[in-house]
Chain A
Amino acid sequence: MRIVIIDGSGLRATELEEGLREAGYEDIHLVPPHGAFVARLERMAPDVVLMDLGNPSRDTLEEMLAVSRALARPIAMFVDQSDDAMIGAAIDAGVSAYVVDGLRKERVKPIIELAIRRFNAFACMQAELVEAKTALAERRTIEKAKSILMQTRNLSEPDAYALLRSAAMNQNRRIADVAEALITASSLLGPGT
């Protein structure tokens, strides 16, 4: 069974490809949705096409499926139109699948399920990455604000942090936001303050 993954970003597609290979599928191809990707796809004659639901080139792909003479059999979206839960899960995860008509749904279902799991895992990973980056940036901001307080008000490190924390609590703001405001104010006042 030939599976084509259309994806421009790389990382998520690689994740999905790895998952499929681990599950024993071998005939897998990655195609970025640029330029003449439709012609490439036509030559490959895939049985299953997987694509990110958020990919703006979905209309281009569907047009190809509608007019293609090379792909003799029509291709339909989703395996089992009656399986609402699976369709909902696929849309939530951002997976769209086009499957050659006539392919038994038991053969395709595991592929879609795997794609849903991998897409979800990838989304979590991205969210964690963003969170980690934000946390790191905030820690740096707080460190910088502390050192400003330590220098200008001759405070120890724990006292500087306590001051930031009480200011945040009084203003009902996050410590990182108070620290950010302090850094901005300090840069406006200039050196020597």
Chain B
Amino acid sequence: MIPLSIAFLPLTDSAVLVAAKEQGFAADAGIDLSLIKTTSWATARDRLVFGQVQAAHMLAPLAIAVTLGLSQHPVALAAPFKLSVNGNQLVMATGFAVALDPDLLARIADPIATAHDFAAAIGLHRRKPVIGIVHRFSSHALMLRYWLGYAGVDPDRDVTLRVLPPSLMVEALRTGEIDGFIAGEPWGSIAIAEGLGETAALGNRIWQRGVEKVLTFRAEWLATETGIADRLIGALARSAAWCDAPENRATLAATLSAPAYLDQPAEQILPALAGRMTFRLGEPPVAIDDMMIFQREAANFPWRSQALWIYSQFVRWRMMEASDEAEAGAGDVFRPDIYRRALAGAGLPMPGASMKVEGALAAPLGVGTHQSALVLGSDRFFDGAVFDPVDVAGFLSRYDAERSR
């Protein structure tokens, strides 16, 4: 058995790592997996960057930010495997949410109308709303910015984005330190179950197939330890399939609820796994089939185009200057080549391309693969935008007016 340590944060989307250990997929691959729980992304990052762990559960934008030197010590990171797709929600305190559409189904189903309602609600609120985000370089924060920006809200001027660890979000909402937050599950469900707030928007209604957590290595380590990395990725692919199977959800929720992992009640973890979301305390749950995706639709495949979308948003929100070098560097963090190599014999559908036009699929589509049939789910952005990864500059030009403000 080869010992291998992976840092993770206690979130539902650590499921593929946890199941790889607890269901024996890692051991079957000859890997003695240690999962190191950390309470901040900074600590997961430092453990990875300074070699205290071999891999980490990481926010995809943070992996790119570390590589580009935007978050402390710069190190080239590599993400050959996505651990999850979707799973975030924006929860707002009841006092703020009264200004949104009271019909929760309509509110969630129509993010365009809700974005405009939200913009109006900002003016009606007793102070500049404070919205908790887990990290500047998080997919949730980028999605929130994208959604607010559509309705003319400048997220750096019209609201206060406050960085808080996910585990402190619920308490901050209770004490009124924040008016809402966007975070990964189970934290939204817990806040709602405690009657502190209600769903204002779902991440998967802002971008139907957004990029979420990735398995991240140091690029240097990945280049030398190819055998171990490939075995780990193979084990994680089997774990991801297990996590996605409906019959395993109850077991998975119970496993995740243990003190070593999320340390939260299984009944607050299960709804997001099962796609049965309660938007407000006392309302019946609503079926959201794509609330969390672990494996189907080749969810683990690291589309280079998604890394480039993240880069485009960094530039849009003035987190960095645009450059050809940075664009290539951001794209290189996602490693479809390693995914293909590691899973070549796994019998999984293997996308033939490494990039796609993001947001172009309005309905599920069968696509060309090297192996079995692959159907990609609808991947639209709520505003109908399409992101062409070969023309990032052209995509960014639409934001010129906004960026020169």
Contacts and interface: CB of A to CB of B under 8 A. Distances in A.
Interface stretch (A19-27, A57-65, A116-124, A166-174): A57-65
A77 B52 contact: no
A152 to B, nearest CB: 38
B163 A91 contact: no
Contacts of A163: none
A87 B50 contact: yes
A63 B40 contact: no
Interface residues of B, number: 24
Contacts of B136: 63, 66
A92 B53 CA distance: 12
Interface stretch (A48-56, A127-135, A141-149, A182-190): A48-56
A88 B43 contact: no
B39 A56 contact: yes
B73 interface: yes
Nearest to A81: B73
B331 to A, nearest CB: 24
Contacts of A155: none
A35 B134 CA distance: 16
B135 interface: yes
A61 B177 CA distance: 16
B168 interface: yes
Contact of A60 (B43, B71, B163): B163
A88 to B, nearest CB: 7
A54 B177 CA distance: 22
A96 B46 contact: yes
Interface residues of A, number: 23
B177 A58 contact: no
B42 A91 contact: no
B47 interface: yes
Contact of A35 (B51, B71, B177): B177
A59 B40 contact: yes
A76 interface: yes
Interface of B: 38-43, 46-47, 50-52, 71-73, 134-136, 162-165, 167-168, 177
A78 interface: yes
8 nearest interchain CB pairs? A56-B165, A56-B39, A63-B163, A58-B42, A58-B40, A59-B40, A87-B50, A60-B163
B177 A56 contact: no
B386 to A, nearest CB: 31
Given A62-B72, A66-B136, A55 B47 contact: no
Given A56-B40, A56-B168, A76-B72, 16 more contacts: A35-B177, A53-B43, A54-B38, A56-B39, A56-B165, A57-B165, A59-B40, A59-B135, A60-B163, A62-B71, A62-B163, A63-B135, A84-B50, A87-B50, A92-B52, A96-B46
6 contacts: A53-B43, A54-B43, A60-B162, A62-B163, A77-B73, A96-B43
Nearest to B135: A59
Contact of B165 (A59, A84, A87): A59
B195 to A, nearest CB: 23
A60 B72 contact: no
B124 to A, nearest CB: 25
Most buried by A among B38, B40, B73, B167: B40
B165 A91 contact: no
A35 B135 CA distance: 17
Given A53-B43, A56-B167, A58-B43, A88 B72 contact: no
Contacts of B168: 56-57
Most buried by A among B42, B72, B134, B164: B42
B95 to A, nearest CB: 20
A168 to B, nearest CB: 28
Contacts of A96: 42-43, 46
A35 B164 CA distance: 11
A4 to B, nearest CB: 17
Nearest to A87: B50
A91 B50 contact: yes
Contacts of A77: 46, 72-73
Given A53-B43, A54-B39, A88 B165 contact: no
A53 B163 contact: no
Contacts of B41: 59
Nearest to B166: A56
Contacts of B38: 54
Interface string A74-112: 001110010010011001100010000000000000000
B79 to A, nearest CB: 19
